[in-house]
Amino acid sequence: MKNILFAASECAPFLKTGGLADVVGSLPKYLDKAYFDCRVVMPYYSCMDPKWRSLATFHSSFYMDIDGKDVYVGILECDYDGVHYYFIDNEEYLGREKPYLGMPTDLGRFAFFCKAVLSILPVVGFRPDIIHCHDWQTGFIPVYLNSFFQGNSFFHGIKSIMTIHNLKFQGIWDKPLFMKVSGLPEYYFSPDKMEFHRDANMLKGGMVYANALTTVSATYAEEIKTPYYGERLDGLLRARAHDLRGIVNGIDYDVFNPETDEMIPYHFSAEDPSNKKKVKEELQKRMGLSTEGDAMVIGIVSRLTDQKGFDLIACVMEEMLQDNVQFAVLGTGDQRYEDMFRYFADKYPGKVGAAIYYSEEVAHMIYAGSDAFLMPSAFEPCGLSQMMAMRYGSLPIVRETGGLKDTVQPYNEFDKSGTGFSFTNYNAHDMMNVVRYAEKVYFDRPDDWAQLVKQAMNADYSWKASALKYQEMYDWMCGY
Ligand code: GLC
State mean pLDDT over 136-143.
98
- In degrees and rounded to multiples of 5, residue 174 shows phi and psi of -75, 160
- Coil, helix or strand for 380? coil
Residue 384 beta carbon below 6 angstroms from any ligand 1 atom: yes
Distance from Cα 302 to the centre of ligand 1, integer Å: 11
State mean pLDDT over 287-308.
97
Residue 23 beta carbon below 6 angstroms from any ligand 1 atom: yes
Residue 39 beta carbon below 6 angstroms from any ligand 1 atom: no
Point out which residues pair with 77 in neighbouring strands.
57, 86
State mean pLDDT over 251-255.
91
Instruction: Name the CA radius of gyration of the chain, rounded.
Output: 23
Residue 246 beta carbon below 6 angstroms from any ligand 1 atom: no
Atom in ligand 1 nearest the alpha carbon of residue 22: 6
pLDDT > 80? residue 24: yes
State mean pLDDT over 274-303.
97
Point out which residues pair with 354 in neighbouring strands.
329
pLDDT tens digit string along 230-245? Answer: 999 999 999 999 999 9
The confidence score (pLDDT) of residue 222 equals 98
State mean pLDDT over 14-30.
95
Distance from Cα 386 to the centre of ligand 1, integer Å: 12
- Tell me the pLDDT of the chain averaged across its residues: 97
Query: Is 418 within 8 Å of 452 (Cβ atoms)?
Result: yes
Q: 58, exposed or middle or buried, with CB in 10 Å at 0-12, 13-18, 19+?
A: exposed
| Residue from 446, 432, 285, 461 nearest 371 by CA | 446
Residue 7 beta carbon below 6 angstroms from any ligand 1 atom: no
Residue 380 beta carbon below 6 angstroms from any ligand 1 atom: yes
The confidence score (pLDDT) of residue 136 equals 98
- What is this structure's pTM? 0.96
Contacts of 429 (CB under 8 A, 6+ apart): 315, 316
State mean pLDDT over 186-192.
97
CA distance 171 to 163: 15
Residue 21 beta carbon below 6 angstroms from any ligand 1 atom: no
The confidence score (pLDDT) of residue 478 equals 94
State mean pLDDT over 295-318.
97
Distance from Cα 152 to the centre of ligand 1, integer Å: 35
The confidence score (pLDDT) of residue 67 equals 85
Residue 230 beta carbon below 6 angstroms from any ligand 1 atom: no
Choose which residue among 163, 165, 408 to substitute to test ligand 1 binding: the one with the highest number of ligand atoms within 8 A of its C-beta: 165
State mean pLDDT over 27-35.
97
User: Strand order in 395-399's β-sheet?
Assistant: 352-355, 325-330, 296-301, 372-375, 395-399, 421-423
The confidence score (pLDDT) of residue 459 equals 97
Atom in ligand 1 nearest the alpha carbon of residue 220: 9
Query: Is 139 within 8 Å of 115 (Cβ atoms)?
Result: no
Distance from Cα 171 to the centre of ligand 1, integer Å: 17
pLDDT tens digit string along 375-415? Answer: 999 999 999 999 999 999 999 999 999 999 999 999 999 99
Residue 128 beta carbon below 6 angstroms from any ligand 1 atom: no
The confidence score (pLDDT) of residue 461 equals 95
Choose which residue among 133, 214, 249, 470 to substitute to test ligand 1 binding: the one with the highest number of ligand atoms within 8 A of its C-beta: 249
Cα separation values, 158 from 5, 121, 129, 240, 283, Å: 11, 11, 5, 20, 50
Choose which residue among 166, 214, 301, 388 to substitute to test ligand 1 binding: the one with the highest number of ligand atoms within 8 A of its C-beta: 166
Beta strands in 175-324 (DSSP E): 195-196, 199-201, 212-215, 244-246, 296-301
Atom in ligand 1 nearest the alpha carbon of residue 163: 12
The confidence score (pLDDT) of residue 415 equals 97
pLDDT > 80? residue 480: no
Distance from Cα 147 to the centre of ligand 1, integer Å: 30
pLDDT tens digit string along 313-327? Answer: 999 999 999 999 999
pLDDT > 90? residue 11: yes
Residue 165 beta carbon below 6 angstroms from any ligand 1 atom: yes
pLDDT tens digit string along 424-473? Answer: 999 999 999 999 999 999 999 999 999 999 999 999 999 999 999 999 99
The residue nearest atom 10 of ligand 1, judged by CA position, is 383
Residue 216 beta carbon below 6 angstroms from any ligand 1 atom: yes
